[in-house]
Structure formats: C-alpha cells, structure tokens
C-alpha cells in the first residue's frame, strides 16, 4: 500500500506542503536541497544515492536514477529490472529500503538526531529477510497463498 501511495504521489513532501499552503519552505531539511519532492525523498537525496549504490549494479545506475517515480517503481517492482548486486530478492529489498527511508525522514522531523545510512541498510536487510522468510514458510504450507501474499505486498497498480 505504501508503494502505491508513492506511485500516486500521495506521500507528503515539503513541495506538497507549500502547494497546500501548509508551509512556505519547499527545501529538504536533511540536505538543504532547494526542493524536497517525492523524487528527492526516495531517489535523489544524497543519503538515497549512497544507500542505493550499495545495492544497484554499476552498469544499471543510470537506468535506476533516470526515471520518474511511476516508471521507477514499475521498472523495479513489476518488470524485475535486475538492477541489484548479488543474489537478493530485489523487489522486497527495495520496498524495505523505501519504507526505512520514509521512517528516517519522519524521525528527523520529530527527533534531534539523524540515523546514518548504515542503520537504514541494517533495518532494510532485516525487514527484507523477515518478509522472504514469511513467503518461504507460506510457500511450504500453501504455495498459491505465498504467491498471492508476496505480490500483494509489492503490487500497487496503475490506478
């Protein structure tokens, strides 16, 4: 559901707050970029780039960062674009990274300290491993259910 909200641009950013007259500052509070829009939050902030470089193959970096948010989600979740380094379940790892980046953004708004990229990566690895374990257990109990659950976790549609 969260990835669907991102794909629909329904996750609040500072640009969105300015547009709705809730703020007069559209800049990023973490890196001072001029505009904190949804693309900046999840793809183009310095923290995101450092995190994603850890997981994305070097020959796919341009493809990974060269799309708008909707196309980026489709390429990475639906079409399994094989951008990941190593042998990881990329769709689940990407969902985990995006979720933990969002948590980080919100924590920095309400707490005086900022977590480093390593903590986001550690939490994302843990969440990804837990989800993969859940899918494996479900697959052993009810193969058709495991397939549905893993796709429902990541599916967000084109509505």
54 assigned to some structural domain:
yes
Task: Count the Cβ atoms, other than its own, within 10 Å of residue 64.
Answer: 20
pLDDT of residue 53: 78
Spatial separation of the C-alpha atoms in residues 58 and 67, rounded to whole Å: 16
140 assigned to some structural domain:
yes
pLDDT of residue 21: 94
**Domain interval for residue 69:** 2-154
pLDDT of residue 25: 94
Helices 143-154, 117-141: inter-axial angle, 10-degree rounding: 150
pTM recorded for the entire structure: 0.67
5 in helix, strand or coil?
A: helix
16 assigned to some structural domain:
yes
159 assigned to some structural domain:
no
pLDDT of residue 145: 56
Structure tokens of 152? 């429902």
pLDDT of residue 148: 53
36 assigned to some structural domain:
yes
Beta bridge partners of 56: 84
Find, among 122, 59, 66, 106, the residue nearest to 85 by Cα: 59
pLDDT of residue 159: 37
- Chain centroid, CA 133 distance in Å: 20
117 assigned to some structural domain:
yes
For the chain (159 residues), the mean pLDDT of every run of 10, in chain order, is 77 91 90 88 81 81 80 74 76 82 76 61 74 69 57 43
Spatial separation of the C-alpha atoms in residues 43 and 150, rounded to whole Å: 24
The domain tally of the chain equals: 1
């Amino acid at each position: 559901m969260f990835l669907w909200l991102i794909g629909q641009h329904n996750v609040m950013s500072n640009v969105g707050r300015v547009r709705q007259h809730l703020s007069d500052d559209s800049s990023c509070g973490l890196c001072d970029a001029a505009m904190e829009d949804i693309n900046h939050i999840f793809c183009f902030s310095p923290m995101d780039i450092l995190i994603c470089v850890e997981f994305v193959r070097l020959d796919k970096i341009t493809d990974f960062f060269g799309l708008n948010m909707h196309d980026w989600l489709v390429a990475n979740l639906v079409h399994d674009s094989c951008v990941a380094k190593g042998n990881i379940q990329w769709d689940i790892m990407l969902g985990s990274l995006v979720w933990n980046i969002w948590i980080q953004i919100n924590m920095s708004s309400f707490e005086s300290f900022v977590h480093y990229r390593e903590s986001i990566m550690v939490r994302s690895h843990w969440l990804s491993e837990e989800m993969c374990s859940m899918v494996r257990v479900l697959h052993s109990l009810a193969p058709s259910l495991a397939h549905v659950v893993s796709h429902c976790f990541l599916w967000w549609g084109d509505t």
